[in-house]
Chain A
Amino acid sequence: MRILVVGGGMGGTIFANHLARRIHHEMKTGKARITMLSASHEHVYQPGWLYVAMGRATPDELVREQQSLLEPGIEFHVDPVEEFHLAHNHVKCKSGKVHEYDLIVISTGSRPMPENIPGLKENSVNCYTAENAVEYYKQLSEFKGGRIVVTVGLPHKCPMIPLEVTFAMYDFIKDRGLLDKTEFYYTYPIGRVHSLENVAKWAAPEFDAKGIKYETLFNMKEVDGKNAKVISEEGSEVAYDLLVAVPPHKGQEVIEKNGLGENGWIPTNRHSLHMEGEHGKNVIVLGDTTNLPISKAGSTAHFEAETAAENVAAVVKMGRPVKSYDGKVFCFIEAGKDRATYAMFNYQNPPQPKAPTGAVHAFKMAYNKLYWATARGLL
């Protein structure tokens, strides 16, 4: 079986490594082959940009050579796919090379699109790329006081980031003795401070205790950079001195161009993770690329990839899949510089976050290093 993995991020890498370990024998004997195509030779641990923005990590700590993470036997090419010909089981890459497959896994991820909100890109900082995280740290470290506004677009990657940046900045400003000169103003699209009800029930009192103000039912419409204010679709305006954005996201352009899904999100079966539609039988979709109503987060990609790898290995070995994805997500929630909690949930069970502790924060800091074992399919 020729298995083609498109995308070298969390989903594609964890899938490929888990699968390679399970079908090691079949790969050796030529019964199965795994090929990965990626747009980059680098693998980035994207959750780390938060720490760069707070001056607690540097970008190079978050990057590894993709080839170095892959199990032996996985064929790797830096050659982004430009055309998907799903009816004919092949893709065409930027180089012109055509790759045929029996099964394709699409895990191309998402991208921040601050340019989709007028004025947002030019007037805000965010922690969704290395360049932006460094600029965020520069502006935060030069901040002398005033109003810091957090504004959130939809859909976005990493649902915990709005809370995490707010708590992290609070401690950053506190450590610099600027709390009495700083006002924090958090905005959020729905009628509570986080999408997860139990997380919102925990976070709102934390905000109140710290004097962090918040406005809910606030969806960015535009940013008026000249007058330094952000305007919502609901009709309110908030003035800022430093605007921190969680920008809206889209899937990759190549997904849209090939007609695989509006805004780059591919319609996906929530349990089998196969693409919906007539050509979906041998197409698996992972991570942010799906249109599933669950978190766009590395954790989601991770658990989907494990399920998919186990299924594909079973298909190789005995012709049938063995698992159904249950919607499992596990997200750490940094509650400042030295405390954290977590949310774990699936399609059936909401999370029950506990009070933040130093121990969970320590585990998160350890996981930031252990991630490379996860990418290798070991953890």
Chain B
Amino acid sequence: MWNELLYAFQEVATLPNFLAMFAGIWGGVIIGAIPGMTGTMAVTLALPFTFYLSPVTSILLLVALYKGSTYGGSISAILIKTPGTASAACTVLDGYPLARAGKGGKALNMALISSCIGDFISNISLFFLAIPLATFALRVGPPEFFMLMAFSLTIVASISGRSLVLGIISACLGLLLATVGEDMYGSFRFALSEDMKSGLGMVPVLIGLFALPELIKMIVFRPEDNAAAMKLGDNRLTLAEFRGSIKSICRGSIIGVILGAIPGIGPSTAAFFSYSEARRTSKNGDKFGEGELEGIAASESANNGACGATMIPLLALGVPGDVITGVMLGAFMIHGLTPGPLLFQNNLGDVYALFIGILFSSVFLFVAGKATAGAFTKISRIPQTLLLPCILILCVYGIYSIGASPFDVTVLLVMGVVGFVMMLLNIPAAPFLIAFILGPMFEDNMRRSLAISRGDLGVFFQSWISWGFFALTILFVTLTIRREWKKWRSNRNADTASAS
């Protein structure tokens, strides 16, 4: 084993590999920071270049692009309230309020450090836990998936803000909007036009909901500080702030690794799951959503933690967990490597080389992120009257480029107006978003499970994994009801006292 490791190290430590990783991380960060351009797009665009590279260099380039774009999404999420990728949507909740308060640099630093730690833990787990985690992931079928999604949806209670009822209304809107288009059996739902038959894209909905309402608000209400640039405060992250978030970073990384190893879940769910857990357990839980560094740490460590872990089922079993690992599977095949158990037998040297290279990429991520974040922080100095209209145009181009579809641009603009009306009515946008992302997975797995069991609800309680998530769901729902009941009673008592 040690001989193979030494050989692998020699194979990785070459200039082409380092250049590929550096270019990949750098390119990924920039692409991820542009709204509408996703990691999938970055990896797909780079695929043709890998034909001319060695197998290890090719895969390292693609992995670096994936990791870079996942972190890059947080830059635009924090500075311009526009999540560059779906997995950065959760980072908006605390990142943007921090940027508005003149702590954009601090937020970016926290995002970078937690991303790198999440990434590193994920890489280590790839090294040591690939086989056991992949075996666990295979035991997660539609019923377990359904229970996991049910538990994830209880996050709505944590991110509803002032009113749980309005939070649930927002989540219902998201769930309903996610049903637009063709369902798993080929039936069309709410296909009011031909374009709607293929459903609504996640990116236009996401960006429309978060980025556009700010522009519309600025035009409609014209606040006095419009022309002013955002304040630039102390950008350094203190040791105390880092210490305060370390628990959430570690927990987020582990959540990312476990959820990332399960095919089909991806970094977005991991980010929301970790954010919710951090909010539940943190002593500053009430401040989440108002600009809490721990919130950024939780979501960023989880989404980057999931990145490396998505490679686990691919390498160990040959099962791609999402579109990006699907493209990587293609890259493996192009170079004559077949991911799966045989890869560990026949090409152990290449596998170790890949693992070592991926470990190095965490360091590159830190360097590239630090350099890029410094440049991006300057965005804060642009006055809102110039910045927000330009962001809309950037979003319009980015979203059109995804599928060359004018319908996606229409969805972006409509969602902007919907988001503005929601803002006026105090309906929180975050539950809408989480429901829109998780809704299709929840419904598909429920229907699939019932189809398998021929309608027997017992299918949801056949394994300990299902039971575990079911118990957590019930526990959390009970705690939420109890909390809301107490809040209602204390409000009523206060009203009675003030009336008398």
Tell whether A pairs with B: no
Interface residues of B (CB under 8 A from A): none
Interface residues of A (CB under 8 A from B): none
